[in-house]
């Protein structure tokens, strides 16, 4: 009796498993070619609204237990009829969609799934009457193969964003973060952001914006808690743009936090390694930090300033360093994105460098919720890598630790090799000449773009570049007259050959006991570097100098 009851319960259990039906929502599919970003083709309300026979539609799911399943479509067509070709796991079906205002179930047949892994279901339109091919609500599977079946249940069709975090001890006061990024051939998918230099207040990387446009992106977040509308952010909480490179667009952003955004349209290519650098100049007194993003152009071997922002309520060094891959729209989240990140370094405030050879793997809420399980990362050819999307089997889990071999070669960063130097020199010369014309400045002569005027004739010797000079001085910005530095009660002494080139060029025209005014373009001063909180990149400097003595 008990044995009979056990057999009966087993049969009932088997029947329940076999009769279980899984409904894959139609709004989770992908069109090839991809639909426009704002297209109503896929929506949570209507599922798949299919009107273009030139588009193929694909669905993806993961089978955990090999077996078979009955396949059917829940579909309607209120305007006409349609005819579909359906392919999955080597099985092929054709089905006619009748005209119906209500959803109907169209049975296709049994499909065998011989192995675990991801499977693709493909729909082709082979004919239709009326404007609609089909309004598909779901793909329905029932049978033993559906046990543990995984699919994305959410209308968000983006691949999960994946991250590498670079652990850094709190004792390291980092003023610069250097990273290199390489996108392999075929991984430059539209709507991809490959972010190399992320930090607590912002991020810096390269992006595929459209089939015809690529960008370099550098952004810094505002203070406060506003997530959407930057107009609601108090001015005291907003980051301020201090400078930007030629051709760079700088503006505010919202909807993912708020802040200052900058981008430069640049046709970066796959297979080429790009070098990125973020610097931080903290000021604990004002609780602000100046963050600057620099991008190296391999074709000209010069660094380009993307933008320089001052962040309020900060005063910190670089921290929480990371990189990521992001699929930021979702219409092509079935495609695999991949990026290599290598040769990571930080520079400490004392000027020394530290190589970063460890990273920790993580993913966003889409991965944490289990909606997407196609992601991974690791180390390959001495570089970290990340991939997401493509419906491939994951090879990494949240919190995995990766170690790459140290290269030991500190990256060379030469800011004097400025990609925008010709444009910047022309612009600054025009500003100086305009100030002279408007009698804001009076000059006696110039050399290599540096202008000077003798305010008081001295009677002593002229200094030479190898002398140590004693001076009283006041330095200000031509742009707004802000005084950024000056001596007080006694003169300062410097070896002249260790000062900025503008001083080296102009001061020898002044005798000891004399006074000189020097107007120095950024190319002969600090260039694209943020020298201090008072001297932004690309600043024209004005110095009033009294030469009190020289020492040979």
The pLDDT confidence band at residue 19, using thresholds 50, 70 and 90, is low
| Tens digit of each residue's pLDDT (9 = 90 or more) over 111-123 | 999 999 999 999 9
Overall average pLDDT of the 385-403 stretch: 98
User: Taking residues 409-432, what's their average pLDDT?
Assistant: 91
Model confidence at 462: pLDDT above 50? yes
Closest CA to 398 of 362, 424, 440: 362
pLDDT of residue 14: 41
| Confidence check: pLDDT of 540 > 90 | yes
* pLDDT over 60 at 449, yes or no: yes
Q: Has residue 248 got a pLDDT over 90?
A: yes
Provide the phi-psi class of 467: left if phi over 0, else alpha when psi is between -120 and 50, else beta. beta
Q: How far apart are CA 411 and CA 275, in angstroms?
A: 9
pLDDT band at 417 (very low <50, low <70, confident <90, very high): confident
Domains recognised in the chain with CATH numbers: 20-146 (2.60.120.260), 162-403 (2.60.120), 421-551 (3.10.50.40)
Average pLDDT, the chain: 94
Residue 27, classed as helix, strand or coil, is helix
Q: Can you give the pLDDT at residue 374?
A: 98
Is 22 within 8 Å of 16 (Cβ atoms)? no
Counted residue by residue, the chain has a size of 552
CA separation for the pair 248, 384 (Å, rounded): 29
- pLDDT of 16 > 60? The answer is no
**pLDDT tens digits along 467-480:** 999 999 999 999 99
Say what the pTM is: 0.91
Of the chain, the percentage scoring pLDDT greater than 70 comes to 97
In the DSSP assignment, the letter for residue 331 is T
Instruction: Give the integer Cα–Cα distance in Å for 284 and 278.
Output: 19
pLDDT surpassing 90 at residue 228: yes
Alpha helices in 221-300 (DSSP H): none
Tell me the C-alpha distance between 389 and 334, whole Å. Answer: 6
Q: Alpha-carbon distance 234 to 223, whole Å? A: 9
The mean pLDDT of 334-352, rounded to a whole number, is 97
**pLDDT number for residue 533:** 87
Kindly tell me the number of DSSP H helices and DSSP E strands found in the chain. Answer: 4, 36
| pLDDT of 122 | 98
Q: What is the pLDDT of residues 97-107, one digit of tens each?
A: 999 999 999 99
């Amino acid at each position: 009796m008990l044995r009979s009851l056990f057999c009966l319960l087993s049969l009932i259990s088997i029947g329940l498993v076999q009769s279980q039906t899984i409904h894959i929502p139609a709004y989770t599919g992908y069109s090839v070619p991809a639909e426009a970003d704002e297209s109503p083709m896929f929506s949570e309300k209507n599922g798949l609204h299919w009107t273009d026979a030139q588009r193929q539609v694909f669905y993806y799911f993961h089978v955990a237990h090999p077996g078979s399943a009955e396949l059917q479509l829940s579909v309607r067509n209120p305007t006409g009829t349609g005819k579909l070709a359906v392919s999955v796991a080597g099985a092929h079906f054709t089905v006619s969609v009748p005209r119906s205002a209500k959803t109907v179930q169209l049975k296709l047949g049994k499909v065998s799934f011989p192995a675990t892994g991801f499977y693709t279901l493909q729909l082709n339109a082979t004919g239709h009457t009326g404007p609609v091919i089909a309004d598909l609500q779901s793909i329905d599977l029932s049978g033993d193969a559906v046990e543990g079946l995984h699919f994305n249940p959410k209308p968000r069709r983006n691949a999960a964003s994946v991250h590498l975090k670079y652990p850094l001890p709190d004792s390291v006061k980092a003023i610069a973060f250097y990273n290199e990024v390489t996108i392999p051939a075929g991984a430059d998918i539209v709507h991809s952001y490959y972010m190399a230099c992320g930090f607590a207040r912002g991020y810096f990387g390269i992006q595929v914006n459209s089939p015809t446009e690529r960008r370099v992106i550098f952004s810094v977040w505002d203070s406060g808690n506003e997530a959407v509308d930057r107009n609601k952010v108090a001015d005291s909480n907003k980051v301020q743009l201090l400078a930007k490179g030629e051709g760079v667009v700088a503006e505010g952003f919202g909807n993912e936090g708020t802040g200052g955004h900058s981008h430069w349209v640049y046709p970066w290519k796959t297979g080429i390694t790009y070098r990125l650098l973020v610097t931080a100049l903290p000021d604990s007194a004002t609780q602000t930090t100046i963050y600057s993003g620099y991008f190296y152009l391999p074709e000209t071997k010069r660094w380009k300033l993307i933008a320089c922002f001052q962040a309020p309520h900060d005063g910190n060094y670089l921290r929480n360093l990371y990189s990521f891959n992001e699929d930021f729209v979702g219409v092509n989240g079935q495609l695999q994105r991949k990026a290599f990140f290598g040769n990571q370094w930080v520079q400490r405030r004392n000027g020394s460098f530290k190589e970063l050879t460890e990273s920790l793997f993580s993913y966003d809420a889409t991965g944490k919720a289990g909606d997407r399980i196609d992601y991974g990362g690791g180390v390959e050819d001495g570089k970290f890598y990340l991939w997401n999307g493509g419906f491939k089997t994951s090879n990494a889990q949240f919190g995995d630790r990766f170690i790459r071999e140290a290269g030991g070669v500190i990256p060379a960063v030469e800011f004097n090799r400025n990609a925008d130097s010709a444009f910047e020199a022309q612009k600054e010369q025009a500003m100086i000449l305009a100030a002279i014309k408007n009698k804001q400045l009076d000059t006696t002569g110039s050399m290599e773009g540096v202008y000077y005027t003798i305010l008081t004739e001295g009677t002593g010797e002229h200094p030479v570049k190898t002398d140590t000079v004693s001076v009283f001085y006041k330095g200000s910005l031509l742009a707004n007259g802000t005084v950024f530095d000056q001596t007080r009660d006694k003169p300062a002494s410097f070896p002249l050959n260790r000062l900025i080139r503008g001083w080296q060029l102009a001061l020898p025209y002044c005798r000891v006991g004399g006074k000189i005014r020097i107007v120095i373009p950024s190319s002969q001063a600090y260039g694209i570097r943020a020298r201090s909180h008072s001297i932004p990149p690309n600043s024209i400097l004005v110095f009033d100098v009294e030469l009190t003595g020289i020492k040979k």
